[in-house]
Amino acid sequence: MVEDTFLFPPDTDLDLSFTSTTTDRTSLTRTSSLTLSFSFNDRLSAASASATTSSATVLRRPHRSSDPHWSAIRAATALSSDGRLHLRHLKILGHLGTGNLGRVFLCRLRDDHHGGATFALKVVDKDLLNAKKLSHVETEAEILHALDHPFLPTLYARIDASHYTCLLIDYCPNGDLHSLLRKQPGNRLSIRAVRFFAAEVLVALEYLHALGIVYRDLKPENVLLREDGHVMLSDFDLCFKADVAPVFERRSHSPRLTTNSRNRCFCYNNISNKSRFTEHVVAEFVAEPTTAFSRSCVGTHEYLAPELVSGNGHGNGVDWWAFGIFIYELLYGTTPFKGYSKESTLRNIASSRDVRFYINEREELEEGISEARDLIEKLLVKDPRRRLGCARGATDIKRHPFFDGIKWPLIRTYKAPEVRGLVKRSRSLQHVTSHVTHGRRRKWWWKALEYVMRKKGNKYNSITNYSNGNYYHFVNSHKVR
């Protein structure tokens, strides 16, 4: 959500001025000699080279060919004298938030006269980061570069200019799931909404794992909500990459009999009456990084898996543990091992104490609650070798009765549930394009960027521990990734 109020000076193009007067850093002096470069994602580099190469884009990503974001970028590069896009082509519309690594701004392309394509621009001032955090920036950029999925951000461009690294990604006008949760009565979502969001997150995690990426930072704050209410997982700086060997596994499978019409409709779809009670052998695609291994302790306290807390090394299972905590928090408005301090939370996670549920009368009547609890229990198994998902990834989790009825290949076409505070829009914000000369734009861009980045600049200097909403981010700098 746009955080600050703006002042637009009447006769200038300075559109980055904020009401706050905080300035934490002295002026930077390297802007005069900088070269702005705007490199496209490799897969789309053909499109950046010339405006006439749009067919290459269409061939490579047919599902994105009519995306207004790419159309706007193509149009802007066509107008650029060198056929490339530069920072000055972007108009900053607002400040979306500040993270551990940098600040995120809402922006659009100046010459996008339709005004429909808005973006989020993550701006990292590398001068303010230590080596460890710089490596996190590179990890995030590298991961974003590899992604092509409806529930994950598209990296439209990476701009390295002077001491700034800027990442242009999708803008999510509905904020994050944590803020949405705080708008609900009792901070809890309905089972239907939990199923929707959990299913989409599961599909996003499945895709990441298929690429060998262990996410390590699942929590509602990192689940952003697009304008249509679908999710977009964000924040990839704590990921690590591992090898993955996709396989087709044969599995015998007998359809379940349930009394629930929703389940029955799904289970027996395409299964003839005769074969209802016979076993079927199905080939299933499994791409899970089961050999992934890391010793570094990173993540958010309440979401850390026991093997992560113990520090003896962890793998893909940390994401399935976090997925269990995530579903729990959406259902109950709190996390299951939360203690009165960070240390006691970690002690609860590491202890042999199993997950407990707050059971009330309303809940007992809610359809699907017992399936949800069963799924959570299977995900929050302390021994990762016995935890659901660890051996065969999302394939096994998708089959859990909690998700019965979901037609996975169609999930992106589902309508987001009605949830208080979720505004489903059909188009991004529209703003009037300003017409100024390119020389002025370039000058103001840099002055303004440095001004807003200086503001609260010291925030990034805290090294290992910082408050992040209701959690604490935990990065053990003594351990290597």
Active site (catalytic) residues = 217
Q: What six digits make up the tokens of 361?
A: 């009368």
CA distances from 211 to 137, 144, 297 (A): 19, 12, 22
Distance CA 296, CA 298 (A): 6
Distance CA 396, CA 379 (A): 11
Q: How many helices (H) and strands (E) does the chain have?
A: 14, 15
Say if residues 390 and 290 touch (Cβ distance below 8 Å): yes
In the complex, the smallest distance separating the C-beta of residue 67 from ligand ATP, rounded to whole angstroms, is 15
The rounded radius of gyration (Å) of the Cα atoms in the chain is: 24
In the complex, the smallest distance separating the C-beta of residue 221 from ligand ATP, rounded to whole angstroms, is 6
Q: Please identify, using beta-carbon distances, which residue of 102 and 150 lies nearer to ligand ATP.
A: 102
In the complex, the smallest distance separating the C-beta of residue 412 from ligand ATP, rounded to whole angstroms, is 18
Say whether 459 sits in a helix, a strand or coil.
helix
Residues of this chain that interact with ligand ATP (CB under 6 A) are 96-102, 104, 120, 122, 169-172, 176, 222, 224, 234-235, 237, 468
Distance CA 272, CA 48 (A): 51
Output DSSP code: residue 426. Answer: S
Q: Please identify, using beta-carbon distances, which residue of 107 and 380 lies nearer to ligand ATP.
A: 107
Say if residues 180 and 190 touch (Cβ distance below 8 Å): no
In the complex, the smallest distance separating the C-beta of residue 334 from ligand ATP, rounded to whole angstroms, is 20
In the complex, the smallest distance separating the C-beta of residue 15 from ligand ATP, rounded to whole angstroms, is 18
Q: Please identify, using beta-carbon distances, which residue of 177 and 376 lies nearer to ligand ATP.
A: 177
Q: DSSP letters along 171-214, please?
A: --TT-BHHHHHHTSGGG---HHHHHHHHHHHHHHHHHHHHTTEE
Q: What six digits make up the tokens of 431?
A: 């703003």
Taking alpha carbons only, the member of 100, 234, 118 closest to residue 176 is 234
- Show Cβ contacts of residue 120 under 8 Å, excluding neighbours closer than 6 positions: 96, 104, 105, 106, 107, 168, 169, 170, 171, 172
Indicate the residue whose CB is closest to ligand ATP.
99
Q: Please identify, using beta-carbon distances, which residue of 200 and 237 lies nearer to ligand ATP.
A: 237
Q: Please identify, using beta-carbon distances, which residue of 13 and 217 lies nearer to ligand ATP.
A: 217
In the complex, the smallest distance separating the C-beta of residue 332 from ligand ATP, rounded to whole angstroms, is 23
In the complex, the smallest distance separating the C-beta of residue 124 from ligand ATP, rounded to whole angstroms, is 8
Q: Please identify, using beta-carbon distances, which residue of 119 and 403 lies nearer to ligand ATP.
A: 119
Q: Please identify, using beta-carbon distances, which residue of 206 and 227 lies nearer to ligand ATP.
A: 227
Q: What six digits make up the tokens of 244?
A: 């993955």
**According to DSSP H, which parts of 260-409 are helical?**
261-267, 306-310, 317-332, 342-350, 361-365, 369-379, 394-398
